[in-house]
């Protein structure tokens, strides 16, 4: 079967069946990263021009920063402090040294903010710019997608759909008034490490929102074997997203469910007493219950969630 | 300046100037991999269809195995035991699940031989097959390019130019008689971990031969601030390479100096009493002296070596 018709989840299961465990890993394929027995987290991600970023409205420095944010977000989503980032670059032949330098300036700037080292890499020539970034980190107690339990609540940092709002604002060249926070979140989605540092002890299951709330919440439900119920009336939707959805005739709740690449922390906890950390809002958006499936509650009606987020293989969102 | 005119070495220096050290690394940019203070080695490499491998005469399983060998070779070249390999894949849209599975079978087979785990990865769609593999390993005492000292000898495992002999045999569809060892070394250049395990304590400077002896020996000389003198009459050149060079009218010594991707261990040691480990020959091919530059001795004449190996940016070998 062609991979662009089978979707990521099936392909990952196929790969899981092909490789064998040799007892060195605490966490293997299927989470945001793998974890060695000694607590080292390793996670890798690839980003291509025209798919994950656009040079039409982003500088090379912004591209570097954005990809570094996404890579380090996976380390944070394992409950770890980033340590080192290595960079495999596929460059276009005509690129100049100052463009490469700008890319690395962006990567370095984000690494500096997360106290992470750039440890080297590899460079090859391709037809378009591709970055494959691998980050390592360290944690005594990895946070997994599979550790949600009934009677916990579901929380998310920041805003849902804000980065996608920013992406569309740039792509469609909308007037920037009122959309700047969204554009900033798209261009430099800094991982929420300060939230992890402050609240880590309370966090049970953890994932970062890279494929859209609907998909990411489903991952927690499936891997923890619990039912996730989303409180649709409580989703944190930024005024910029409301403004964009109004202008485009979109439903902001569906937009929040399906939009990827916010790189916010989505986690479960028994209880949480703070509503923000360092001005990053933390919102309770649902509950964990015994059972299975992803459900939503809005105005007291319980419904299965049919929306799905972004699939990198079929390259689409299905809003049913 | 366009990067395809400036070469890898200058680009690496430019990147070194752009990123800052934060004291977490024992070894940073510029060796086969970086090393964290706790002895974790991290190394990343990218491989593209049409550049690093050809699907015209290699199966997907062979491609997976070959790329895994190359990635793990860098860990071994840091004096470390591989621990985990993560895989960022850029797949062509039309690829099938069985092709992806074959790729992973090849990766898994090599990892099994080196007792390394496949720890997951990421998949995106591109116009051609690209693999970015990142491997980690662990070592108490990393082996660096910069640790050669005068009065040491230079050694290499296996044969020089053997993998390139195999690549040309396949590419030019030569009759395979007498060329099979070369084809095997091109298709599955298993890292020489058994040599490292047996002789590690004697090894001083270490690098793997990925860009050709001329370039790789120069790296040792430059980073160790010593003169490297190659004994051209002693280079281990396989009968298959002699056969190919005869047929193509090439000088086998120049061929051995310039051909990349053998993934043999090139190292210095004070003295070595074995001439093979597990049937892998180990040959003394030169000496380390005070001074600088790469020189050769043949029939008692000392000459500077002008040959250079493969440069991935300018994508060429210059045989002057």
**Using alpha carbons only, what angle is made at residue A59 by residues A55 and A60, rounded to the nearest 5 degrees?**
90
Work out the pLDDT band at B315, boundaries 50, 70, 90. low
Q: Measured between alpha carbons, how far is B214 from B320 in angstroms, rounded to an integer?
A: 12
Residue A215 to residue A192: CA distance in whole angstroms: 20
8 Å CB contact of A313 and B125: yes
Least Cα separation, residue B117 to chain A (angstroms): 6
Please report, for chain B, how many H helices and E strands are present, in that order.
Answer: 10, 14
- Which residues of A fall within a CB distance of 8 Å from B219? none
pLDDT tens, residue by residue, B123-173: 999 999 999 999 999 999 999 999 999 999 999 999 999 999 999 999 999
- Please give the mean pLDDT across all residues of chain B: 93
Residue A93 to residue B315: CA distance in whole angstroms: 10
Q: Tell me: the pLDDT tens digits for B194-214?
A: 999 999 999 999 999 999 999
Q: Hey, are the CB atoms on A34 and B86 less than 8 Å from each other?
A: yes
What pLDDT was estimated at residue B313?
67
**Element of type H or E holding B119:** strand B117-126
pLDDT, average across residues B33-62: 95
Q: Which of A15, A105, A123 sits opposite B8 (nearest CB)?
A: A123
Say whether the ipTM exceeds 0.85.
yes
Q: Over the stretch A32-56, which tens digit does the pLDDT of each residue have? A: 899 999 999 999 999 999 989 999 9
Q: Tell me: pLDDT of B251 over 80.
A: yes
DSSP string of A274-289?
-SEETTEEEEEEEEEE
Q: What is the largest CA-CA distance in chain A?
A: 58
Could you state, in chain order, the average pLDDT of each consecutive group of 10 residues for chain A (320 residues)? 85 92 91 93 96 94 97 97 97 93 97 95 93 97 96 97 96 93 96 96 96 95 98 97 96 96 97 91 97 94 87 50
Mean pLDDT over B235-250 rounds to 97
CB A25 within 8 A of CB A34: yes
The answer to whether the CB of A291 falls within 8 A of the CB of A241 is no
Where is pLDDT greater, at B110 or A314?
B110
**A95 contact residues in B (CB cutoff 8 A):** 2-3
- What integer pLDDT is reported at residue B317 of this predicted model? 40
Tokens 């991290």 belong to B42
User: How many CB pairs below 8 Å do chains A and B form together?
Assistant: 243
B118 contacts in chain A (CB < 8 Å)? 19, 29
For residue A116, the chain B residues in CB contact (below 8 A) are 22
Q: State residue A320's pLDDT score.
A: 26
Closest residue to A119, CB basis, from B34, B123, B315: B34
Give the mean model confidence (pLDDT) for residues B65-90.
97
Distance CA A263, CA A102 (A): 23
pTM: 0.93
- Is residue B185 pLDDT above 90, yes or no? yes
Return the structure tokens found at A81: 């402090």
pLDDT of residue B319: 31
Q: CA nearest A16 in B: which residue?
A: B120
Helix, strand, coil distribution of chain A in percent, nearest 5: 35, 30, 35
Strand order through the sheet with A25-27? A25-27, A34-36, A40-48, A130-138, A81-92, A117-126
Q: Which chain A residues are within 8 Å of B119, Cβ to Cβ?
A: 25, 28-29, 33-34, 42
């Amino acid at each position: 079967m062609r991979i662009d018709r089978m979707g990521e989840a099936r392909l990952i299961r196929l790969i899981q069946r092909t490789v064998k465990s040799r007892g060195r890993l605490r966490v293997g394929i299927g989470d945001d990263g793998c974890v060695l027995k000694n607590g080292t987290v390793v996670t890798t991600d690839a980003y291509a021009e025209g798919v994950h970023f656009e040079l039409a409205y982003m500088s090379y420095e912004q591209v570097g920063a954005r990809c570094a944010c996404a890579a380090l977000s996976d380390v944070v989503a394992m409950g770890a402090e980033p340590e080192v980032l290595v960079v495999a670059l596929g460059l276009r032949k005509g690129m100049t040294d100052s463009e490469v330098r700008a890319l690395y300036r962006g990567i370095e700037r984000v690494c500096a903010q997360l106290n992470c080292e750039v440890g080297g890499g590899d460079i090859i020539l391709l037809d378009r710019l591709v970055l494959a970034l691998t980050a390592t980190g360290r944690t005594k107690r990895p946070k997994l997608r599979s550790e949600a339990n009934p009677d916990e609540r579901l929380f998310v940092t920041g805003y849902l759909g804000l980065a996608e709002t920013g992406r569309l604002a740039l792509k469609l060249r909308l007037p920037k008034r009122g959309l700047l926070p969204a554009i900033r979140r798209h261009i430099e989605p800094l991982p929420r490490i300060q939230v992890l540092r402050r609240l880590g002890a309370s966090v049970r299951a953890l994932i970062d929102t890279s494929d859209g709330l609907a998909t990411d919440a489903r991952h927690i439900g499936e891997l923890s074997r619990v039912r996730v119920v989303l409180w649709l009336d409580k989703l944190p939707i930024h005024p910029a997203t409301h403004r964009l959805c109004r202008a485009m005739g979109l439903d902001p709740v569906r937009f929040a469910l399906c939009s990827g690449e916010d790189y916010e922390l989505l986690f479960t906890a028994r209880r949480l007493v703070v509503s923000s950390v360092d001005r990053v809002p933390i919102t309770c958006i649902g509950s964990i219950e015994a059972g299975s499936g992803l459900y939503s509650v809005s105005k007291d009606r319980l419904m299965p969630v049919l929306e799905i987020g972004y699939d990198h293989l079929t390259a689409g969102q299905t809003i049913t």
